[in-house]
Amino acid sequence: MGVVIRIVAWFAIMIVSLGSACTSGSQIRRDITDLDEELGALEAADARLCTPEELARAKAHREFAAHELSEHDYQDAQDHLDVAFENVERAKRLLQNCKVVERTPPPSPSP
């Protein structure tokens, strides 16, 4: 009887493990979609003028995450997403204090 319980428990653990592996890939896809939306909002707010490094890092790590996902390396993909979202949050904080100064050319001298 104890052996049967152990076998059933082992199968239950295996099923949960397989299910979580499938969930990981789909969760990472959703996270990449969310990241794309965040990046789009930052670009619309002209973050490239105030936080170009953070924006570039977030975009680069988004691409790394997508590549790792295509290779089925979910842990590395998640690590890259974490870095990307950290940079998005940093860009948002810096963007709050950003003041873009538009410079107008001086008037032409009168003849």
- Separation of alpha carbons 53 and 60, rounded Å: 10
pLDDT tens for the chain, residues 1 to 111: 666 677 766 666 766 555 444 558 999 999 999 999 999 999 999 999 999 999 999 999 999 999 999 999 999 999 999 999 999 999 999 999 888 666 777 888 887
> Greatest CA separation found in the chain?
105
Contacts of residue 39, defined as CB under 8 A and 6 or more positions apart, other chains included, come to: 55, 58, 59, 62, 88
Q: Is this prediction's pTM over 0.85? A: no
- Contact 58/87 with Cβ under 8 angstroms? yes
Tell me the domain boundaries of the chain.
20-95
